[in-house]
Amino acid sequence: MRWDSEERRSGGHREHSIDDMGTKIIYFTVNGRPEQAEFPVDCPAQSLKDLFRSAAEAGPHDILKLYNPKGNIINISPALEPNAPNSCYKLEVVAADCNSEPLGILGLKVKRGILGDFERKLQSLEKKILIEAGETPAIVYEMKKQVDSFREKLESVEHLSWLGLFKDLSEGAHKPSPFYHKRALHKTREECEHVRETFLEMSSLQVSEEVRQYLKTPTFDNWQWEDAEIMVLLQVMYTDLDFTASFNIEAEVLQHFLFEVYRHYNNIPFHNFKHCFCVTQMMYGLIWLTDLRNKMESVDLLIMLTSAVCHDLDHAGYNNAYQINARTELALRYNDISPLENHHCAVAFEILEKTESNIFRNLAVDQYKRIREGIIKCILATDMTRHNEILNKFKSILPAFDFNNKEHRDVLMMILIKVSDISNEARPMEVAEPWLDCLLQEFYNQSDVEKLEGLPVTPFMDRDKVTKPSSQTGFIRFVLLPLFIELANLFPCLEQHIIHPVRKALDYYTEMEKALERESQNWAQSENAAKAKETAADGHADDAASASKPDQ
Ligand code: 0WF
Ligand code: ZN
């Protein structure tokens, strides 16, 4: 019995999934890596699970899930349907042993899992009894068996929402699932140091005029740049908008600030440092494209750019609905009112509280106050539950928009950060599409955890309910276009830069949706045809059987 990664395989894929020796071959991917498992059809279930565990490099107590190509969870058992290399299953470690290291979310430690706790207690009990009595009593074996059987159930049941029943109702009840380990959320010290050193080495180099101009357009491709380079590009934005000169921001302080910002974005699929950069770069592009430097005060532009930089600081990959439903520390702290956005903002001002990273340290108290008020307003405006409120306010002032009116400017600033925040689809398809994959990865992860914890599952995050095109067509039609069109009403020059590409994206995903529908119809038809053939064959067999029976 063995598993093989593609690199390790000497020959190509085999044609059949069960060979003449009664060996089954299952093709699957783990962390995007193609693997194949070979095992005798009559092998014990536990051995097969261990095989998959080793392929996933999972520990004995980690929880694995296997998905078929349709995205449904399937049981890891010797009865697994053999498959072909082009219809791989997907193996995921959905929950890792909580005992290996403490969990961390948003910098706060959470309690270990009850299953892990129980096992730990059992182990220590067993050790004590062994020392005192010299042997493990049957009752301890029985309890260990029960824990194993519980874990077994977790791995094989399709819908795990009943797990809510097992939630610890005492201390730690508001914490994330005890069965889910949020892996490597924070950047390591080594990772940060490496990026900081590279950034500092590069920051004295000149960025070419060509890159400086490219940086002002929504066609900019973030995927071509490393994190340290991205930090240099952010520095360029502050200098090219003359902020460093106008607000007396020392190069060293700006670098320190940008490094702290980098450090406080987490290693998660979507709301990470690259997203921070994209949002800031879109804001920067909008400032240049709409010639805002000649329409608004420099301090307002500084507020907008810095808000974009800080707007998702320390995001852990779980949205406000999750925070509120799971009664996390953040929801408790902010009384369910935009917990995430309040947190991002608070982290921003923690960074700015430190003299060495306070880019506003040379400003007068009144100006600092104005900037703080502006940043808070902008970051809090990124809570999508306030979308209609803010858009309607903008629509109501648009017919008589006045750049000299503070209230009008404030609403415009909120609209600009909102547009920048959700603007991926305004970018070229090869830049935008990977972002959607990242977002869905983060959404699916949240809904998996919601299922594990027995919390309400947000429908547009449910891997069983949404596809790439279905998630995007509604969003573009009902959220993106109505918002972008209003901004283009104020700045008609934006039509070609943000509306055209978004319409193109809508066409692209509408076509993809149709193709998927056709494919599933074809699949259903061939399934029905196969069933009909089977039924007919059964009928013939019955006829033949009754014909061959002697008369009674
Ligand atoms: C996947 C889709 C979606 N698509 C995006 O391009 C995008 C950019 N930002 N976001 C996006 N979401 C969100 C990240 C956090 C907040 C905004 N989502 C939106 C949802 C699926 O579907 C709809 C559809 C219509 C109305 C509301 C949500
Ligand atoms: Zn964001």
Q: Which ligand ends up closest to the CA of 307?
A: 2
Ligand 1, closest atom to CA 319? Answer: 15
pLDDT at residue 319 greater than cutoff 70: yes
Q: How far is CA 371 from the centre of its chain?
A: 31
Tell me, what DSSP letter sits at residue 296?
S
Same domain as 111, residue 78: no
Look over the chain and give the mean of its residue pLDDT values, rounded to a whole number.
84
Residue pLDDT, tens place only, 377-428: 999 999 999 999 999 999 999 999 999 999 999 999 999 999 999 999 999 9
Most ligand 1 atoms within 8 A of CB, residue of 439, 447, 512 to mutate: 439
What CA–CA distance (Å, rounded) separates 385 from 405? 26
* Residue 93 β-bridge partners: 64
Same domain as 237, residue 119: no
Same domain as 329, residue 223: yes
Question: 502: how many CB neighbours lie within 10 A of its CB?
Answer: 20
Percent of the chain residues past pLDDT 70, beyond the cut = 77
What CA–CA distance (Å, rounded) separates 339 from 322? 10
pLDDT at residue 552 greater than cutoff 50: no
Question: Among 383, 407, 427, where does a domain finish?
Answer: 427
Residue pLDDT, tens place only, 414-463: 999 999 999 999 999 999 999 999 999 999 999 999 999 999 999 999 99
Task: Tell me, yes or no, if 497 is annotated catalytic.
Answer: no
Token pair belonging to 259: 């490094």
Average pLDDT (487-499) is: 98
Q: How far is CA 462 from the centre of its chain?
A: 13
pLDDT at residue 230 greater than cutoff 50: yes
Lowest mean pLDDT among 39-53, 197-211, 337-351: 39-53
* Residue 27 β-bridge partners: 36
What CA–CA distance (Å, rounded) separates 46 from 363? 66
Nearest to 167 by CA among 113, 125, 204: 113
Q: Which residue has a Cα nearest atom 13 of ligand 1?
A: 422
What CA–CA distance (Å, rounded) separates 284 from 308? 9
Confidence band, pLDDT 50/70/90 cuts, at residue 476: very high
pLDDT at residue 328 greater than cutoff 90: yes
Same domain as 150, residue 60: no
Same domain as 264, residue 155: no
Residue pLDDT, tens place only, 164-207: 222 232 333 333 443 444 458 999 999 999 999 999 999 989 99
Q: Which ligand ends up closest to the CA of 420?
A: 2
Question: Among 95, 127, 148, where does a domain finish?
Answer: 95
Same domain as 116, residue 177: yes
The pTM assigned to this predicted structure is: 0.69
**Residue in this structure with the two tokens 């000497």, named with its chain if needed:** 10
Same domain as 323, residue 281: yes
pLDDT of 130:
54
Same domain as 421, residue 359: yes
pLDDT of 178:
39
Same domain as 296, residue 233: yes
Question: Among 60, 95, 130, where does a domain finish?
Answer: 95
Query: Do 230 and 274 form a contact (C-beta atoms < 8 A)?
Result: yes
Residue pLDDT, tens place only, 235-288: 999 999 999 999 999 999 999 999 999 999 999 999 999 999 999 999 999 999
Q: 362 — phi, psi (to 5°)? A: -95, 10
**Catalytic-role residue among 181, 186, 256, 271:** 271
Ligand 1, closest atom to CA 382? Answer: 16
Supply the Cα-derived Rg of the chain in whole angstroms. Answer: 28
Domain contains 139: yes
Q: Which ligand ends up closest to the CA of 275?
A: 2
Residue pLDDT, tens place only, 168-178: 323 333 334 43
336: left (phi over 0), alpha (psi -120 to 50) or beta: left
Domain contains 446: no
Query: Do 201 and 193 form a contact (C-beta atoms < 8 A)?
Result: no
Same domain as 330, residue 408: yes
pLDDT of 440:
97
Report the CATH number at residue 349: 1.10.1300.10
Q: Which ligand ends up closest to the CA of 481?
A: 1
CA atoms within a 13 Å half-sphere pointing along the CA-CB vector of 337? 4
Domain contains 461: no
Confidence band, pLDDT 50/70/90 cuts, at residue 370: very high
Average pLDDT (15-24) is: 65
What is the CA(241)–ligand 1 centre distance, in A?
31
What is the CA(271)–ligand 2 centre distance, in A?
6
Report the CATH number at residue 69: 3.10.20
Domain contains 68: yes
Give the range of the structural domain holding residue 139, as residue numbers without chain letter.
99-185
Q: Are strands 103-105 and 2-5 parallel, antiparallel or unpaired?
A: unpaired
> 534: helix, coil or strand?
helix
Domain contains 423: yes
What is the CA(127)–ligand 1 centre distance, in A?
52
Q: Cβ neighbours of residue 374 under 8 Å, at least 6 residues apart?
A: 299, 300, 303, 304, 307, 410, 413
Q: Cβ neighbours of residue 1 under 8 Å, at least 6 residues apart?
A: 37, 38, 39, 40, 43, 47, 48, 51
Lowest mean pLDDT among 89-93, 321-325, 376-380, 543-547: 543-547
What CA–CA distance (Å, rounded) separates 525 from 5? 35
Q: Angle at the Cα of 411 (from 409 to 416), degrees rounded to 5?
A: 90
Ligand 1, closest atom to CA 270? Answer: 14
Q: 314 — phi, psi (to 5°)? A: 60, 30
Same domain as 136, residue 32: no
Residue pLDDT, tens place only, 67-88: 888 777 788 888 888 898 888 8
> 226: helix, coil or strand?
coil
pLDDT at residue 117 greater than cutoff 70: no
Q: Which residue has a Cα nearest atom 9 of ligand 1?
A: 422
What is the CA(441)–ligand 1 centre distance, in A?
13
Q: Which residue has a Cα nearest atom 26 of ligand 1?
A: 475
pLDDT at residue 159 greater than cutoff 50: no
What is the CA(508)–ligand 2 centre distance, in A?
24
Domain contains 303: yes
Structural domains in the chain (count): 3
Most ligand 1 atoms within 8 A of CB, residue of 320, 460, 506 to mutate: 460
pLDDT at residue 32 greater than cutoff 60: yes
Q: Which residue has a Cα nearest atom 21 of ligand 1?
A: 471
Domain contains 535: no
Highest mean pLDDT among 147-156, 414-423, 460-469: 414-423
Domain contains 136: yes
Pocket around ligand 1 at a 6 A CB cut-off = 384, 422, 424-425, 436, 439, 460, 471-472, 474-475, 478-479
Same domain as 153, residue 25: no
